[in-house]
Structure 1
Amino acid sequence: MMHKNPASLPRRTALQLAAALGAASLLGGLAPAFAQDRFPTGAVKIVVPFGPATGPDILGRTIGQKLSEKWGQPLVVENKSGASSMIGTKFVAASAPDGHTLLVTANTLILNKALKPNADYDPINDIVAVAPLAIGRLTLVAHPSLGVKSVQELIAMAKAKPGAIDYASPANGTPHHLAMELFKQGTGVDLTHIPYTSTPAAVKDVLGGQVKLMFLPIHVALPHVQAGKLVMLASGGKQRAETTPDVPSVAEASGVKDFDADIWYGMYAPAGTPPALVNRLNAEVNALLGSPELKAMFERQGLSPLTGTPQDLAKLTRDDLARWNKVVKAAGIKAD
């Protein structure tokens, strides 16, 4: 049966048809918002591209548990480690952009891209920033046998003996390695890199005095400092760390004004996730980060909550990629 042109219908029928079409159009426009209100419609997966008990894993599980309780839906944390976090990141980038698959990761996300420009994922265009989560404080430590108690003393010794002082890292291209390269470039000193295959192996040799220097997460370093086995020279961020307010920052102690080697953590979703859903997730995560319970838990892990908008995390991602690109190129660093 053919439909007549509305213009040829009786006036009352045409008005009824127009009203029906208008209602259908309105309902269509509201459908996404209605679906948004019903999110999540099933289990949500947080992918952590690192192993268990790492910073991103602790964050993902803590935040995931709270979101699951609030939503009344199961939330599963899945560790997809490998290829320096690239396997899990690519999995999320290829997932449906419906908010049911999320990524909790560290700034390794952009360090990988700086080290491997041809990496088959793009941290700017393949995923979308949801919320900054935390800052992990790094600190510069030395073995007591080196005989330095400040950054100024270290710089003076390193300039007097170029290349004679060794420093350790868990591997080429790790945050610990790049932090020291940033320090070298800012201060003009020459230090020799000794890469290991894991953080525990590197820490063991620094504690034994076989290697003299290392950047370490502050919660890892602090017990050894308190036991007199290591000397804490400076914190790695722009400001002093809350945990060690009497210890200067590298920027403060060295005069390298914008020095910042701290590790940051964030939540991302697949590109194409609706902005309204991203904003809702952001608001709910920020509310959790402001709770005294999570703040206390973060402090025990050497983390500081970092709230902000999706735009804040997107800017941090872009800016840090550009910054570390320069460091990697200047040092000629190649990833393992």
Structure 2
Amino acid sequence: MAPVSRARAVKGRRLRLKIVFIGIAFGVVIAGLALTQTRAPTVPARANSYSASAYVTGRPGDYLGLLVAKNTGLFRNSGLQVSIEVGPSDAAAISAVIDGSRTIGVANATSFLLARQTGARIVAFAAGYVESPIVFLVREKSGIRTPRDFVNRKIGYFPGQNSSTIYEALLARTGVPRSRINEIAGASEEDFLTGKVDVWPASVGDVYRFREKAQVAIIAPIDFGIHVPGTVYFATEETVVHNPELLGRFIRSLIDGWNLTYEKLEKGDTIPDEPLLSSNQLRAELDQQLSYLRPLASRFAEFSPAQWRSLRDILLSQKLIKDSLDVSKAVTYDVIEEVYRRPIKYAY
């Protein structure tokens, strides 16, 4: 038989290779079909999502970063499904977390510690207002410029409220005797605006509203060395121990929400799906409260041990808590430290 030509041999090898490749491809398709019949679809990395519910109190400006994080999809992008309830009081927020109906609550730091002392097994893991937002308003023509000018003046005073705690701490810090001040319990905003009361306690976010009605100046406790946490985000001890990833994602999204809010505010832009930011009043409030949400040399949501020590000392001196209260067990820094170990970057 005549030998096979080189060209025919090469052609034969190519034909055999095609057959082999077709067989492999067919096998891969069949295997893939079989896998889809027997195995669940591949789950994306972010599919280990969490659900959380937050109970907040106060004005919209107090928790706008939270609303922005929800409405612009920042929570969703972090693998969180978050519901937000706005309630009437710190006590309601604390009760909602304790009874398990809400995952996360927000309350002023004083209310939080008082609840902790009564046995509430809750832990603060991040700050809302890093500094207490309590300020004291005076009419510009009153001549009142410092706490020492409170002497012989009429002060709006509300026992049992956070403003009274800060007020008493401010007097102690500046050496002003309470006995020389006329404290008016049960006074109204109208009393202040009409001159019946000389000094009025308020949240820094309320300043714009008062300035629409009168010429007022601010006496800020932080200018006199009162540095305590303002509001705190808290959860049960069980959640903090067993689900720190949920809390970390929540706070990371919250921080992104605040960063986005203030970036848009600086540019004069509005935020998609967040009509609240178009309000001139809200814009003014946000501008006023930034130094309390993110003080100089601090970051959003980050409280410090020194602030908690200061608050504990104040509450002890006012006999609101007992020396046995261990603040180190009431507060964790692990969540916020872990959040800031990774770059904060938002996308929506």
TM-score if structure 1 supplies the norm length?
0.58
Q: Residue by residue, what CA displacement relative to the aligned partner does 1:303-336 show, whole Å, maximum 9, x if unpaired?
A: 44447699x6584785355123234229xxxxxx
Partner of 2:251: 285
Q: Residue by residue, what CA displacement relative to the aligned partner does 1:227-249 show, whole Å, maximum 9, x if unpaired?
A: 753233x3221xxxxxxxxxxx2
Distance 1:141 1:266 in 2: 24
Structure 1 counterpart of 2:84, one-letter code: V
Tell me if the contact between 2:97 and 2:105 (Cα under 8 Å) persists in the aligned partners.
Answer: yes
Distance 2:134 2:245 in 1: 30
The answer to whether structure 1 residue 168 and structure 2 residue 153 are counterparts is no
197, 208, 232: which one aligns with 2:194: 208
70, 74, 82: which one aligns with 2:77: 70
Give 1:77 deviation, angstroms.
1.2
Partner of 2:172: 185
Partner of 2:227: 260
Give 1:226 deviation, angstroms.
7.6
Structure 2 counterpart of 1:272, one-letter code: E
Q: State how 1:225-240 maps to structure 2 within 5 Å.
A: 225=211, 229-232=215-218, 234-237=219-222
Tell me if the contact between 2:134 and 2:201 (Cα under 8 Å) persists in the aligned partners.
Answer: yes
Distance 2:150 2:247 in 1: 50
Partner of 2:8: none
Give 1:168 deviation, angstroms.
0.8
Partner of 2:313: 323
Quick one: structure 1 residues 205 and 327, their matched pair in 2 at CA, closer, same or farther if it must change by over 3 Å? farther
Tell me if the contact between 1:129 and 1:269 (Cα under 8 Å) persists in the aligned partners.
Answer: yes
Secondary structure of the residue that 1:141 maps to in structure 2? strand
Q: State how 1:116-131 maps to structure 2 within 5 Å.
A: 119=118, 121-122=119-120, 126-131=121-126
Tell me if the contact between 1:142 and 1:231 (Cα under 8 Å) persists in the aligned partners.
Answer: yes
Partner of 1:109: 111
Quick one: structure 1 residues 226 and 173, their matched pair in 2 at CA, closer, same or farther if it must change by over 3 Å? same
Aligned length: 247
Give 1:167 deviation, angstroms.
0.7
Secondary structure of the residue that 2:197 maps to in structure 1? coil
Give 1:213 deviation, angstroms.
0.7
Distance 1:180 1:138 in 2: 9
Secondary structure of the residue that 1:215 maps to in structure 2? strand
Gaps of 5+ in 1: 1-33, 159-163, 238-248, 252-257, 331-336
Secondary structure of the residue that 1:130 maps to in structure 2? strand
Quick one: structure 1 residues 93 and 191, their matched pair in 2 at CA, closer, same or farther if it must change by over 3 Å? same
Give % identity.
13
Distance 1:195 1:80 in 2: 25
Give 1:92 deviation, angstroms.
0.8
Q: State how 1:1-336 maps to structure 2 within 5 Å.
A: 38-41=47-50, 43-48=51-56, 50=57, 53=59, 57-65=63-71, 66-71=73-78, 74-82=81-89, 85-95=90-100, 101-110=103-112, 112-113=114-115, 119=118, 121-122=119-120, 126-135=121-130, 137-144=133-140, 147-151=142-146, 155=148, 158=151, 164-169=152-157, 171-186=158-173, 187-189=175-177, 190-196=180-186, 202-222=188-208, 224-225=210-211, 229-232=215-218, 234-237=219-222, 249=223, 251=224, 258-260=225-227, 264-273=230-239, 275=241, 277-279=243-245, 281-282=247-248, 285-286=251-252, 288-290=254-256, 292-295=259-262, 296=265, 299-300=286-287, 302-303=289-290, 304-306=292-294, 313=303, 315=305, 318-319=308-309, 321-329=311-319
The structure that has the greater radius of gyration is 2
Tell me if the contact between 1:131 and 1:309 (Cα under 8 Å) persists in the aligned partners.
Answer: no
Higher helix share: 2
Structure 2 counterpart of 1:46, one-letter code: A
Structure 2 counterpart of 1:129, one-letter code: A
Tell me if the contact between 1:92 and 1:103 (Cα under 8 Å) persists in the aligned partners.
Answer: yes
Quick one: structure 1 residues 228 and 321, their matched pair in 2 at CA, closer, same or farther if it must change by over 3 Å? closer
Gaps of 5+ in 2: 1-42, 266-276, 278-284, 321-348
Secondary structure of the residue that 2:129 maps to in structure 1? strand
Secondary structure of the residue that 1:268 maps to in structure 2? strand
Distance 1:206 1:268 in 2: 35
Tell me if the contact between 1:139 and 1:235 (Cα under 8 Å) persists in the aligned partners.
Answer: yes
